[in-house]
Amino acid sequence: MRVLYYNIVIMIILLFLGNNKLFSQYLDTPLNPAKDKVQGWNGFIFGLGQNFQSGEYYVDCEDCIFDGGVNTGFTLGYSYDRRPIEWLKYGIAIYYDNSGIKNTFSETELVNFQLENSDIKEKVPVKFKHNSDVDLHLLTAMPYLKFEPFNWYFFRLGLGVSYILSSKINHTKELLQNTATLSNGSVVTIKISDSDENKVTIQDSPIRELNSIQWNLIPATGFKFNFSETTYLLTYIQYNIPFTNISEQGKDYKINEWRLFLELGFKIH
């Protein structure tokens, strides 16, 4: 899958460079010397926002289903775009993305209990909390079109292809009570066996049945502040709409994102 991703990225970059060459070549005449008439910019990007889960995902635990997970994420990136006409740019952005989620759920479980030195056996309701921490690191290539109807405003639409560099899930089960009352009125102390804590790790592993290649539609809109003819600052909000499930160990399990971005750009030709 990694080789496939790199091949896709290389094809996108080659197509992009090929289009640049078409736009930048002109006939050299005495009245019109050959030059690159298409303006180009590069930008350095930082974004902060929220990752949030859609669908459900399953873990190495019977009847454990997690949904509604959220977490803070960040993005670092670089962009390069060109303007063939006054109101339109085309370009490509490369992102490193931290895209994990955390969520919990509580349950009351009937636990088999036997009183020491006694024949008393019964099922005791005990409260537990399940905690899940999913950690994802992605590399994304996104070709895009940027529409600039005004000098101070833009709308951008990109198609992102991402490769998941690493994934991890940590699932713990936490005991929420230290005592329980038996049917005869006796109060007993309860704890997790073979542990000095009230918490035990159920799963600590890479995500099962991971889809390493992710496809996303990525719209963005925001404002442009021109410091000079060659330097600008973009502030914008970007939304990541995933087409691909993160894992098949779940039901429609995807991670959506929104980011608030700052992008410092420089004209390079």
Outline where DSSP puts E strands in the chain. Answer: 39-58, 65-67, 70-85, 88-98, 101-114, 121-150, 153-175, 179-181, 187-189, 199-205, 213-226, 231-242, 250-267
Q: Which residues sit opposite 72 in a β-bridge? A: 50
Neighbours of 188 (CB within 10 A): 14
Give every CB contact of residue 14 below 8 A, 6+ residues apart in sequence: none
- Confidence (pLDDT) at 152: 93
Nearest partner of 131 among 101, 167, 108, 110, judged by Cα: 101
**pTM for this one?**
0.80
Residue-wise pLDDT tens digits, 29-69: 555 555 556 678 999 999 999 999 999 999 988 888 999 99
Secondary structure percentages of the chain, helix, strand, coil, to 5: 10, 65, 25
- Confidence (pLDDT) at 22: 44
pLDDT surpasses 80 at 119: no
Residue-wise pLDDT tens digits, 158-200: 999 999 999 999 999 999 998 888 877 878 888 887 777 888 9
